[in-house]
Amino acid sequence: MPNIVVIGAQWGDEGKGKVVDLLAPCVDVVVRYQGGNNAGHTVVVGKDKFVLQTIPAGILHAGCRCVIGCGVVVDPSSLIEEMESLVQRGVSLDGNLYISKNAHLIMPYHPALDRASESKAGRRRIGTTGKGVGPAYADKAARIGIRMADLLDERLFREKLEANVFQKNRLLREIYDAETFTVDGILGPYLRYAGWLAPYITDTALLLSRWIDAGASVLFEGAQGTMLDIDHGTYPFITSSSTTAGGASTGTGVPPTKINGIVGIAKAYCTRVGGGPFPTELGGEIADLLRARGNEYGAVTGRPRRCGWVDVIGLRYAARINGFDTIALTKLDVLDTCETVKICVGYRYKGEVLTDFPEEERIWHEAEPVYEEMSGWQTTTHRLRDYAALPAKAREYLDHLSELIGVPFSIVSTGAARDETILVQDSALARWFPALRGLLPAH
């Protein structure tokens, strides 16, 4: 049974939630391996819309085991709220949710530090989600983080908390002139969370290993996207975790030798939320059109997303860093009304045209995109489920894009709902998951 990783190929919000929900009935386990409640993964089921933040998007399928891996940072209050909201909406969390003992906790001082440092950053503000994800990963790397397992050991938890509150209060007060915390003010609520979460906290690396040995199929659900990766993204305008393929292994304890394939998720155009360079960013009418048709507003913060044309230089880079076997291309329908569509095939910088994604921050900011322009199809693709039924010009666009990236497409998404999806017959996803053909029949 294949173990497959799903990864955002751009700056996040590519439609990972939709794709994970589609694949979940074909696997036994879905595991999140990085990020925290900065993620917002939308799943549309009929008239219902779910936005998952820390819980894997497989949770909507009874029988699918969902794991929050060791690479995730967990805000327990936000997680409990998410769990309660799912239960209220009829989703069962009985025996199908597992949280790694090694996952780090987001503590109340983390969002405070996140907001305080952003408020002082001026022009170089990252535009974080304000959830405390960066400061929580900073503590993890500094070896002063507090982990899920510590929640279950009151004495150890208090000891670690005291040291942290002492240090964070000095930072908050003296560097940021911000409000401080007390140990007791945090201890009470966190011990209550511990009581709530204790039944779910376990050695998930061991469980995953046993399940895989017994023949289970695991889907790794990436959060954010390649360009937000701490090592490979547009540093420092990134998130603080390993969003790329390697993170799937370190963030779960499943060795790379047990991973069988990597799927990139990319939009037919491109968006970014927050600050930082975005070579193909558009202003004016076309950006407004993409934002309105694509409903490009942050699932977590509600912020309008910046919009631009698809960037082959970035996507080829994502394919190289992650080793994509295939791509699921989403939101084709959003381009339906465009007279022409553009594809960025180079970055012009100081008279030269670069075709490999550069590593210099200055170039990301200053490069001018070089475009190929294709005529639009100007007819609806919304809800289409058959590749052959797509307008010829849409197929030309898809075929050309796939060829430029050098990676075949497995899925073309034509709407937010589950069945608004084209499965490319004889694609990697159709081969890995034969049941998909039944779930996504062409009409």
- Out of 75, 333, 405, 436, name the contact with ligand GDP by CB under 6 A: 333
- Out of 34, 414, 423, 428, name the contact with ligand GDP by CB under 6 A: 414
Number of shown-chain residues binding Mg ion (CB under 5 A): 3
User: Which distant-in-sequence residues (6+ apart) come within 8 Å of 232 by Cβ?
Assistant: 226, 244, 321
Window of 60-68, 125-133, 152-160, 359-367 that interacts with ligand IMO by CB under 6 A: 125-133
Catalytic residue among 41, 104, 110, 232: 41
Residue 68: closest CA among 105, 103, 36, 99:
99
**Binding status of residue 160 toward ligand GDP by CB under 6 A:** no
Exposed (0-12), middle (13-18) or buried (19+): which is 261, by Cβ within 10 Å? middle
Annotate each residue in 225-254 with x if it binds ligand IMO (CB under 6 A) or - if it does not, as one string.
x--x----------xx--------------
Residue 333: closest CA among 373, 377, 296, 273:
377
Window of 12-20, 74-82, 212-220, 431-439 that interacts with ligand GDP by CB under 6 A: 12-20
Supply the DSSP string of 418-431, one letter for each residue. TTSEEEPTTSHHHH
Active site residue 41: yes
- Out of 57, 86, 113, 133, name the contact with ligand IMO by CB under 6 A: 133
List residues bridging with 329 in a β-sheet.
266, 412
**Contact of residue 102 among ligand IMO, Mg ion, ligand GDP, none (CB under 5-8 Å per partner type):** none
**Binding status of residue 299 toward Mg ion by CB under 5 A:** yes
Active site residue 61: no
Number of shown-chain residues binding ligand GDP (CB under 6 A): 23
State the Cα–Cα distance between residues 84 and 411, nearest whole angstrom: 33
Q: How far is the CB of 40 from Mg ion (least distance, A)?
A: 4
**Cβ(264)–Cβ(324) below 8 Å:** yes
119's enclosing H/E stretch is helix 109-119
The CA-based angle 23-81-224, given to 5 degrees, is 45
Residue 63: closest CA among 42, 89, 91, 34:
91
Query: Which residues contribute to the site for ligand IMO (CB under 6 A)?
Result: 8, 11-13, 38-41, 126-129, 131, 133-134, 223-225, 228, 239-240, 273-274, 299
Q: Which of the residues are catalytic?
A: 13, 41
Query: Which residues contribute to the site for ligand GDP (CB under 6 A)?
Result: 8, 12-18, 40-42, 44, 294-295, 299, 330-331, 333-334, 413-416
